[in-house]
Structure 1
Amino acid sequence: MSTLALDTPPRRDLAVITLIGAVHGVSHFFHLLLPPLFPWLMGEFGLSFTRIGLTMTVFFVVSGVGQAAAGFLVDRWGAARVLAGGITCFILAALLLATAASFPVLLLVGGLAGLGNAVFHPADFTVLNRHVSSPRLGHAFSVHGLSGNLGWALAPVFMTGIATLAGWRVAALAAALLAVLALGLLLSFRHLLADPPGHSRKAAPQGEHPLAFLTVLPVWMCFAFFFLITTAFGAIQNYAAPIIEHLYGLARPLAAGSLSAYLLGGAGGIALGGFLAKKGEHDRIIALMLGGAALLALLLATGWPPAWSIPVLMAGIGFLTGVAGPSRDLLVRRAAVGRFGEAAYGRIYGFVYSGLDAGLALAPLIFGAFMDGGQESRVLVGIALLQGVAIFTALGVGRYLPAQSGSQGASR
């Protein structure tokens, strides 16, 4: 990291972290604009699990392609403008959903929301890396991940609760209002996102082609890591409730509560992961945590645990995965800084995190077919296998990068 953010006052660090955390939470809320409404939308438009899942495939395909491009826009034009454009897309998507009259319109809603989502990771991480002091970066990434999990946790309760009381179209209008409030917050405090004095936005580091980062193996390994872990997460996010309902005979509200337990467990894990990330050895932390999560997923697949333990096991999977989150983000940062410096934050984060969207786009296609075929236990086995393979990519990145100790070392 450049020295520009090394001496930032703690109060300003806190303000930047809070603002970025708030808008990131809204972006994750809009990941789940559609899935909580699936029961209503499937009935309204006569859709199967696979067809309704296609809306999320469109969301993440658009987000993945857009995210890789958004990184260049952030490097060129700055984070505040790009984030405002993303939130505006959320507002338009929610308003379109409220008036939807056909399945193709739902696909358009997914695409528009995905376009809005595309900007957040390259913009957020560019801001945090440029504006937050090195000693507090681990905690900044922890809050960033925690706010995302809280956005995920809020969306099912918010959307389902309003849809139950007033209908799914009203729920969509309420989501639009939430995005309007987020846009107002961002515009009111946009001065916090301005580049530090003396910073010059460059299209590429001196002497480097703008796409030179694509020749670096650790960058591709980070992409593969995100692809694998988020394909697994997409399966959990979309299908955990019906899987648990079928395998363990839990009532639908209890099965849905198990998904909430997973998300809340993830939030707690991220909070702890911010402290562990300061100690360094990010690849080993990731390997240990994901290994434990994979074993718990395999245990769930057997059908052996008693029904009362399912929320606890789901919370455990979420917690272990969450602990790995801040270390994951710092590992990506090392891959970016080690060769290209801060001028390439946006494009490298944009490309690497597009692996996240690719995995989430693929998950409904693969695992929706298993669900339609009544093969719920295979979904859990697939989740465990994906997490296991992801461990090797994280360890591979660690081998290719210089050894670092703690967040301070990772920030140089």
Structure 2
Amino acid sequence: MAAHGLVHTYELSIPILMTIWLLEFSVTAAVLGAVVTVGYGLFGVGALPGGILVDRYGSRRLIVSCLAGMGLSFLLLSVSPTVVTIALALGVWGIAASVYHPAGLALISNGVQDDVRGTAFAYHGMAGNAGIAFGPLATALLLLVVDWRLVAVALAIPALVAAVVGVLASFDETAALEAEAATQDEPIRSLTAFLGGSRRVFTVGFTIVFVLVMFNGLYYRGILTFLPEMLDEFLTTHLGAIELGFFGPDSPVADEFDLAQYVYVGLLTVGIGGQYLGGKLTDRLPPERGVVACLSALVVIALVYTPAAEAGLAPLGAISVALGFVLFALQPLTQATIAKYSPPDSRGLSFGYTYLGIFGVGSLGATIVGGALTYGTTVTVFLILAGFATIACTLAIVLVARDGF
């Protein structure tokens, strides 16, 4: 839970820092979207080799390495003089962070009994959302008083401390698999073993899940990366510069205060409740059905977001709350679906493949949305996102049909 929270602290502090980088380095949203795609892309691409390493070496080593690598990457970010070196630092972060989800989710899948696994996914997801919400909040608050480079240093420290704690912690990684221990396959140590393991993982059901989460990843990365920028446009339309008056026109804080950042953090905080509900639902109904419900809601939200946001502050707040709640309620449901359609002895590989789809292919969502904002409008952005969710929802319906209505 601690590691999950920190992974997403860094992941979602990047969009907050992007609002500074756009001004400091004088680049377009399209260019900066491509830059962060480097880190976010490696965050996903590295999940597959990370999953293989999890099955071979266990979760502890991978999670500790993840924490240490993320801390060092943000130290590198703090001394980056150009957009190119920012891309390099984010690349290091992406490689380090990429191993977390296969390691953490394999740990839950193999270490927690079936009857409470959904609850474990819920608490794990809530920890992630705490990082998703309060990491950017801490980043935004620190930016009020110190330079963004010092903020990057401050963000690096908790991961380095957590890495030490991870070395000292004691737990059983396979508590739920004791009865199956005699039938476990050997860890992947060769290309032949990798190909054989991949064939076992990619059943028809798992293949559908893989494509489903890939399109969900495009939606997730696309909306969250540039939502602060879009919120800023909507809030400026409704409020103008009223937030600056709160501090006074000559206040140094006024130059750094961005109301959109705090609205964004509020949206992410709402996701904590969504994670809890989604996790609880996985203990009470087939997870595919919950996935269908959430994706259907995300289609509707994407189609009505811009009209609602332009209608006034109250509709903007309501649609943003709905987006934050549903977007994150979906996560434990998809994680439980992945576990359902993957073999227990290859959970690391299974989650490696799916997070390759979610964060690797999904990272292109930042580039797509950055381009849509640069050359189109917010309406264009949300129509594209609605298309992603529609495809994913259709695949989820196929899963429900195969499992039996």
- TM-score w.r.t. the length of structure 1 is 0.85
CA distance in 2, matches of 1:194, 1:130: 7
1:151 aligns with 2:131: yes
Q: Give the whole-Å Cα distance in 2 for the aligned partners of 1:193 and 1:401.
A: 32
Aligned to 1:275: 280
CA distance in 2: counterparts of 1:216 and 1:364, whole angstroms = 30
Cα distance in 2 for residues equivalent to 1:305 and 1:42: 28
| Among 76, 83, 100, the residue aligned to 2:63 | 83
Alignment partner, residue 328 of structure 1: 334
Gaps of 5+ in 2: 244-257
Matched, 1:217 2:204: yes
- Quote the offset at 1:323 in angstroms: 2.6
Q: Of residues 241, 244, 247 in structure 1, which corresponds to 2:228?
A: 241
Aligned length: 376
Q: How has the CA–CA distance of structure 1 residues 349 and 42 changed in structure 2, closer, same or farther, with 3 Å as cutoff?
A: same
Q: How do 1:295-314 residues align onto structure 2 when only pairs under 5 Å count?
A: 295-303=300-308, 305-314=311-320
Q: Are 1:257 and 2:236 counterparts?
A: no
For the 8 Å contact 2:238–2:312, the answer to whether it is kept is no
Structure 1, residues 24-52: CA drift from partner, whole Å, max 9, x if none? Answer: 11111121343211232233322221222
The Cα shift of 1:70 comes to: 0.8
- The AA in structure 1 aligned to 2:286 is E
Gaps of 5+ in 1: 1-20, 404-412
Instruction: Report the equivalent of 1:26.
Output: 6
TM-superposition CA deviations, 1:185-209 (whole Å, max 9, x none): 21221x21544578467226xx992
Q: 1:397 to 1:117 in 2, by over 3 A?
A: farther
TM-score, normalised via structure 2 length: 0.86
1:372 paired residue number: 374
Letter paired with 1:221: I
Assess, with a 3 A threshold, how the Cα gap between structure 1 residues 228 and 285 changes in structure 2: closer, same or farther: same
Deviates more, 1:85-94 or 1:26-35: 26-35
Letter in 1 for 2:56: R
In structure 1, distance between residues paired with 2:399 and 2:87: 36
Letter in 1 for 2:222: A
d(CA) in 1 for partners of 2:54, 2:77 = 28
What is the deviation of 1:373?
2.4
The question of whether the paired residues in 2 share the 8 Å contact of 1:299 and 1:305 is answered with no
Alignment CA distance shift 1:266-1:227 (3 Å) = same
What are the within-5 Å matches in structure 2 for residues 153-168 of structure 1?
A: 153-168=133-148
Alignment partner of 1:123 out of 97, 103, 106: 103
Question: What one-letter code is carried by the residue in structure 2 that aligns with 1:265?
Answer: V
Partner amino acid, structure 2, of 1:202: E
Greater shift in the superposed pair: 240-249 or 109-118 = 240-249
SS of alignment partner, residue 192 of structure 1: coil
Contact kept in structure 1, 2:33 and 2:370, CA below 8 Å: yes
Alignment check: 8 A CA contact 1:54 1:107 kept: no
* Aligned counterparts, 1:175-214, within 5 A: 175-189=155-169, 191-196=170-175, 199=181, 202-203=186-187, 209-213=196-200
Instruction: Tell me what 1:61 maps to.
Output: 41
> Percent sequence identity over matched residues?
22
Q: How large is the RMSD of aligned CA atoms in angstroms?
A: 2.3
Provide the C-alpha distance between the structure 2 equivalents of 1:297 and 1:215, rounded to a whole number of angstroms: 31
Q: In the alignment, what sits opposite 1:353?
A: 355
Are 2:12 and 2:135, in contact at CA under 8 Å, matched by a contact in 1? Answer: yes
CA distance in 2, matches of 1:281, 1:82: 30
Query: What is the CA-CA distance between 1:322 and the residue it aligns to?
Result: 2.6
Letter in 2 for 1:259: Y
Distance 1:172 1:237 in 2: 20
